[in-house]
Amino acid sequence: MAGVSIEERRLADRYVLGDRIGHGGMGQVWRGTDLVLGREVAVKTIDLTRVPDESAAARFEREARVTAGMSHPNVVTVHDSGVEGDTAYLVMELLPGPSLAEHLADGPLPIEEVIEVGRQVASALEAAHARGLVHRDIKPANIAYAADGRVRVLDFGITQLADTTGSHSLTATHTVMGTAEYLAPEQALGGRVDGRADLYALGCVLYALLVGGPPFRGASAVATMMMHANDPVPEVRSSRPDTPGWLADLVTSLLAKDPDGRPAGARAVVQALTAHRAPVVAPTVAMSPAPSAVLPPVTPPAPPVTDPARRGSSWPLVVIALVAVVALALLGWQVLAQNADPRVTPSTTPSVATSAPPTTAAPETPSPEPTPTPTPTPTPTPTPSTSASPDPAQGVTDGVAALNSAVRVLQRDGTLDQKAAKSLDDGLGKITKALRGGDAQKVASETTSFVADYDKGVQDGSISPEASAALDPLVADLTAAVGSYAP
């Protein structure tokens, strides 16, 4: 490690380096200790002697500052950066979870998990591209699970500042940087790239998560890059038949050779994946103890996809159990309603003999006169909703109402601070306004923004773990309802 004594294994007289926990073409990652704050961190060191440019150190520091300015729940937090001798370094949060590359070693991921991981990565790219940052090396090894259950995108430290003025950045034009299996054709050929190259890489990642490996893999890195540039895009469903058609089409569009043929931006990918997120199986029991992950559940009815250890096929048993619970609850409600007040006829009981005398009557003797008007149904029907509303918009309305109610209760109890509660109320108000206008796309867009703000609040601590444990299932219900309303 040039410029730093191996014996000291220390940077800036503050960060003590321990074991190496990763390495790549642009540097190495170390488990470290911040002596000032007394916390464990991850430190990435980059040997600037390998970058053939005298101004590399200054430009690295500039780009690192821009990266450190990002605050997003799906981007790894950068605490510090600097240059010491010929070594540039980034100090980041230490992620305990496995990377997607390690997770993928066990085989392809469940469809719902692929959708959720893709949504989170696309959300990170949307935030980065809005700041002019192009990642250039999106791959499973640069996506890892964090302690809160979300995935984080790593390695924004070697990004290119998208520059329409033509000035160079650390990763300049004609410098091929990245991993061959996940390189966009224009990047593989050494051309200037923009955010659309990241979308291509995301397509490669989604393909790998669905199939078990990247779409192109040649005998060498050069051969692989030429395959990206020239070979037709492989059909996802030929290797993973259970892939939904819309998801296969999305992957194919992301892997378009021509950047103009790809989705318009990361936001479009976020919206597509959000609209098709799997619905929660049993929203009536949403207040059951929430899993430790803070993401909405995405694999019905298994735990959230953000729990990297969960796989298996036990969900049918869970479905049966949930159906049994709901059925028993309904039966119990009917019995209680009948016993509580004999004057009230439960609306779920057909009124087939309301005009019959209380004594046993011969059912074979029909009335000789024509049947008068049908037996009137009581107008005020105190029936609890036990099944999905036939009106998709009503599901969204109910989801917003449940969240509004929970926010008020949590704020009243002091579990949720006033500023966070107002932010959540504002977001829910925008969803309601879009719903009243009948604009399904606007409802989906406002919901995406609401979920992003909610995730940010959980990440920065303005929404406490106790509050998120209560709100997570309700947020999941809302996103599922919006998915049905705005497919």
Q: Give the residue numbers marked as catalytic.
A: 137
Query: Length of the chain, please?
Result: 487
> What's the Cα-to-Cα distance from 31 to each of 48, 81, 87, rounded to whole Å?
20, 15, 17
The residues, ordered by sequence, that sit 6+ positions from 144 with a Cβ below 8 Å of its Cβ are 76, 95, 97, 98, 99, 100, 151, 152, 154
Placement of tokens 């569009």 in the chain: 253
CB 41 within 8 A of CB 111: no
Tokens of 127: 């935030």
Q: Helix, strand, coil % (nearest 5) of the chain?
A: 45, 10, 45
The residues, ordered by sequence, that sit 6+ positions from 377 with a Cβ below 8 Å of its Cβ are 347, 351
Tokens of 372: 């008068």
Tokens of 425: 């109320």
Strands of 286-395, DSSP E: none
Most distant CA atoms of the chain, gap in Å: 106
Placement of tokens 């500023």 in the chain: 419
Distance of alpha carbon 296 from alpha carbon 473, whole angstroms: 6
CB 228 within 8 A of CB 247: no
User: DSSP assignment, residue 160?
Assistant: E
Q: CB neighbours (10 Å) of residue 199?
A: 26
Tokens of 477: 């219900």
- Residue 29's φ and ψ, nearest 5 degrees, are -120, 135
Distance of alpha carbon 356 from alpha carbon 98, whole angstroms: 69
- β-strand pairing of 39-47 with 27-34: antiparallel
- Residue 154's φ and ψ, nearest 5 degrees, are -105, 175
CB 208 within 8 A of CB 175: no
